[in-house]
Amino acid sequence: MSFVLKIRLFVFKFFWLFVLMAGSAQAMATTSSDLSYELTYKVTLEPSKQGASVIISVNKGELLKQLSFNNSRDIYSNIRANGKLIIKDKRVTWELPQGVAQLSYFVALTHERDPGKYDAIVTKDWAVFRGDDLIPPAHIDTGDVMGSYAIATMQVVLPEGWTSIETGWPRKKDNIFSIDNPDRRFDRPTGWMIAGKVGTRRAKVSGTSIAVSAPKGEHFKRMDSLTFFNFVWPEVHKAFIKTPQKLLVVGAGDPMWRGGLSAANSLFLHADRPLVSENGTSPLLHELTHMITRISGATTANTNDDWIAEGVAEFYSFELLYRAHGMTKSRRNAIIKSLDKWGAEVKHLRKSKSTGPVTARAVVLLDELDKEIRKRSKNKYNIDHVIRDLMKTRKVTLDDLQKSVEKLIGPKVDALNSPLLK
């Protein structure tokens, strides 16, 4: 075979290989595109009714097929849909038609947590609520359609005179947000939201866009909070590594509940709560730790480990401040001593709910655990490595904690052999 003929044969083979690869790539792209559907939430806030009208639209109902959710709290009303809608025993089941499918309802957002104190409210000038209520957690059934996925957005329509809406989700434009939650099969706009006549301060620290927002005139110290984040956030990132791209802090005064509450990408703090309490712990960093780690203690008939989640949150509420040079070592030691005194009467940590003294005693134990990890690993590891590991599990038990520590320093962990954990 001549040299020229060999070259021509090589070019011919290469050409057809290229065509086949291009065709395969196009087929894959087409298949991927065919399995995607547009999921749109249109939310119209209605202050006069203390809630919102919601329309859920799907452009390819045949890819989602069925969606169902629980309405045991009776906060969803006037439920309508095309396709087949079944409402039975507080369970709403929607069988989507092919093509464009729509489900609509009204949701009551105002919620009284304690008498006269609200953890969600819609007033004539502003609203603070969670997307978890706006769009209910739903079970979906795609039938024999494998691999379908949503491209989800949320559009919020504000009442006349309201100026803005803030969420923990990336803003596409105006009041339209991209909703992409890899942890869920059904993308929902969860987390805290605030809308109305509000003021917002923003900054970008260590790769995270931070927004602090509160109703105008509520005396929430937005700039104080943002300044606080500017020097603490780098330590937050070092400790947990996996930090959100966007964080929303929502603040408001009475009649909101006087405390702090965290969500997946956001947190709420009452305007009267200090950034740092007189005992040296930070309510803001406590809720932030809950939000980022998403660790909760498993609580069942045989397992009561709420102390882990609350202890971790309270430990980092001053530890991060200390690492950021916001306090001296002697101050940190004084905090541990004070918490030890507060929890002195606690005999067992494994209770269904971690009260103040239980949490205080849990912090002291975690501090002892941190020291033991550092000593036995010759400062190669610390408690941060344990928390990062538990972040993968989220709902954790004492056994999970034990195994995570033992992976770093081996068995027979003195701090976890405490009578408090028996």
Domain 37-273 fold is: Immunoglobulin-like (2.60.40)
Q: What is the mean pLDDT of residues 116-125?
A: 96
Could you read off the pLDDT of 69-88 as tens digits, one per residue? 999 999 999 999 999 999 99
Q: Assess whether pLDDT exceeds 80 at residue 230.
A: yes
Could you read off the pLDDT of 27-45 as tens digits, one per residue? 344 344 588 899 999 999 9
Q: What is the 3-state secondary structure (H, E, C) of the chain?
A: CCHHHHHHHHHHHHHHHHHHHHHHHHHHHHHHHHCEEEEEEEEEEEHHHCEEEEEEEECCHHHHCEEEEECCCCCEEEEEECCEEEEECCEEEEECCCCCEEEEEEEECCEEEECCEEEEEECCCEEEEEHHHHCCCEEEECCCCCCCEEEEEEEEECCCCCCEEECCCCEEECCEEEECCCCCCCCCCCCEEEEECEEEEEEEECCEEEEEEEECCCCCCHHHHHHHHHHHHHHHHHHHCCCCCEEEEEEECCCECCCEEECCCEEEEECCCCCCCCCCCCHHHHHHHHHHHCCEECECCCCECHHHHHHHHHHHHHHHHHHCCCCCHHHHHHHHHHHHHHCCCCCCCCCCCCCHHHHHHHHHHHHHHHHHHHHHCCCCCCHHHHHHHHHHHCEECHHHHHHHHHHHHCCCCHHHHCHHHC
Could you read off the pLDDT of 131-148 as tens digits, one per residue? 999 999 999 988 877 888
Task: Please report, for the chain, the start and end positions of each structural domain, with discontinuous segments joined by +.
Answer: 37-273, 292-421
Q: What is the mean pLDDT of residues 306-322?
A: 97
pLDDT at 33: 58
pLDDT at 1: 55
Could you read off the pLDDT of 346-399 as tens digits, one per residue? 999 998 889 999 999 999 999 999 999 999 999 999 999 999 999 999 999 999
Mean pLDDT of the chain: 91
pTM of this structure: 0.87
Could you read off the pLDDT of 397-421 as tens digits, one per residue? 999 999 999 999 999 999 999 999 9
Lowest mean pLDDT among 3-7, 43-47, 166-170, 298-302: 3-7
